[in-house]
Amino acid sequence: MTTKHPHSDADPAASPPLPPSRRLRGLVSASASASSPAPAQPPPARRSGERERERTKLRERHRRAITSRMLAGLRQHGNFPLPARADMNDVLAALARAAGWTVHPDGTTFRSSPSQPLLPPPAQFQGAFQATCVEPMSFTNHLNSYAIGTPLDSQASGLQTDDSLSPSSLDSVVVAEQSIKNENYGNSSSANSLSCMESDQVMKTSAVWAGDYTKTPYIPVYASLSMGIINCYCQLVDPEAVRAELRHLKSLNVDGVVVDCWWGIVEAWTPQKYEWSGYRDLFGIIKEFKLKVQVVLSFHGSGECGSGDLLIALPRWVMEIAQENQDIFFTDRVGRRNTECLSWGIDKERVLRGRTGIEVYFDFMRSFHMEFRSLSEEGLISAIEIGLGASGELRYPSCPEKLGWRYPGIGEFQCYDRYMQKNLRQAALKRGHLFWARGPDNAGYYNSRSHETGFFCDGGDYDSYYGRFFLNWYSGILVDHVDQVLSLATLAFDGAVIVVKVPSMYWWYRTASHAAELTAGFYNPTNRDGYSPVFRVLKKHSVVLKLVCYGPEFTVQENDEAFADPEGLTWQVMNAAWENGLSVSVESALPCLANEMYPLILDTAKPRNDPDRHHVSFFAYRQQTPFLLQRNVCFSELETFVKCMHGEATENFVD
């Protein structure tokens, strides 16, 4: 049967005959339409234009992220009163005014008086200029040359910095270098100091953070008790040793203690059979000393107890279930299971003796509330922290040392158990790309470096269409988990202060992809804010954010190789939390065994130049061993540090 042309039923006499050339083109077109039609492809010029527009958008997002961090650093560390939506004109005007110039609203700029000496840079930058042997006038000379029309980049800059550093960490470069050269400023001689600084200047630099904290906001200080005080049968091991430790803490004027209540101890043997006797005895002793208690509900396993011969694992009945179904644990790409905590893939799966993961957490929280409701009403229990992932922090267990991870490895994605894979397939099918239902195959291994992988390297697949889909899904699972758990936590602890702990994955922060944060579940590359979506959920449930910061001390070389920036990440997280209306607290990850820890904590807890006068709600001191066993801790300095937190101390922390 001959296929009719769409217009073959028209009257041929109604229109004049076509010329031969046009009839030939019509026949060619008709024969082409009769064959299998091919979809129209955009011309190469259009495709290249689309790619160029995509690259332009990425460059613009990257530029805006850098500008935002620069402005935040100038506000925080430079005491510049920049408006909320500042542009480069505002920055130049602020720098010119700081150098003693007059800047009119219309942009007219001139020196106030030819004979007037120019002002030095702000106090926050003076140490950096002195430590690099730069005269204070060099900063002003740059402004002078810029004001008369000479480009800045054509002048020889006296201040040398690493372009890859984030603005919030520029003012700590010199201090970090000095701390490596002079471990003890009080005992170092002038021969070991920097050549451009006198010995008294070095002493002042070491104590620059120990200013007058009188009349500053009162910040409560909590110290954690060691894990070994409660054994794996939920018994208080040594009440007299606990009293001795509490007596010492009371002498340091701390406000309270942090106590871990382990799921693997309380519900160890039988589902929904809870044993709280050891914690009941412990809270009774703490009450004798009139200290507050912050309780941590730990739904994860831990390493060794204080005695060194016991492990705090997940409940025994959970491990029995795992013998038949290991997919209840997080799983990496090669199938290794992480038994530290349960996979978020079973939050809604009834695989725990008829209960879902969320229901198990809720039953535990409700049991605690029923057992210790009277202590909460009396005010002894001041806050309850909910464990939400590895180490009690809101993150995937992407960096497990038990599986061989070592700093500064990027970690691995933990989404290969059966339930997470099912969720990923559903998300890919909903998106219309079922072949995206897989984890990245070029994301490296636990100890890979960012630039060694095809996924995390600059321009890597993390920013491709598939990469953005996968990372949105991966981080979305984290957000869904915290939302579901906190919904039930607010129901179980009606009116109580609830705390959520967020990690500090600061290595590879000065790269474009932020690989360590991506594998931990925070979609926070350079061109995207990965914390605000999480903080909006925390704000919905009115919880307090606890930021873990100032962890293991690594050398400058190690941090440089890892492109680490702990200060930059800390300020991004805290500023994002404050912008979302959250209360923020800080926990130090390791004992404060060195003077260098105190200024960082105080500067973070009480930002001196914050125009909004933000400060943290409390500080938690996480110790690994009892205070009485920490022979390296200088108790007098720790006591003075507590006074600074309380807004009472004026002493300097120098020997």
Strands (E), 67-158: 101-103, 109-111
Catalytic residues, which ones?
393, 587
At 203, the amino acid letter reads M
Q: Pseudo-torsion of CA 626, 631, 632, 633, nearest 10°?
A: 60
- First CA to last CA distance, the chain: 104
Number of neighbouring beta carbons within 10 Å of residue 425: 14
Q: Cα 337 from chain centroid?
A: 25
Q: Count the neighbouring beta carbons within 10 Å of the beta carbon of residue 418.
A: 16
What single-letter DSSP state applies at residue 4? P
Helix (H) or strand (E) run with residue 588 in it: strand 583-588
Environment class of residue 177 by beta-carbon count within 10 Å: exposed (0-12), middle (13-18) or buried (19+)? middle
Q: Which residue has the tokens 């007059």?
A: 102
Please give the backbone phi and psi of residue 564, each rounded to the nearest 5 degrees, phi first.
-85, 150
Buried/exposed code over 336-374 (b: 16+ C-beta within 10 A; e: otherwise): bbbbbbbbbbbbebebbeebbbbebbbbbbbbbbebbee
CB atoms within 10 A of CB 575: 21
Q: What is the CA radius of gyration of the chain?
A: 31
Residue 306, φ and ψ in degrees, nearest 5: -60, -30
CA diameter of the chain: 113
- 457 in Cβ contact with 513 (< 8 Å): yes
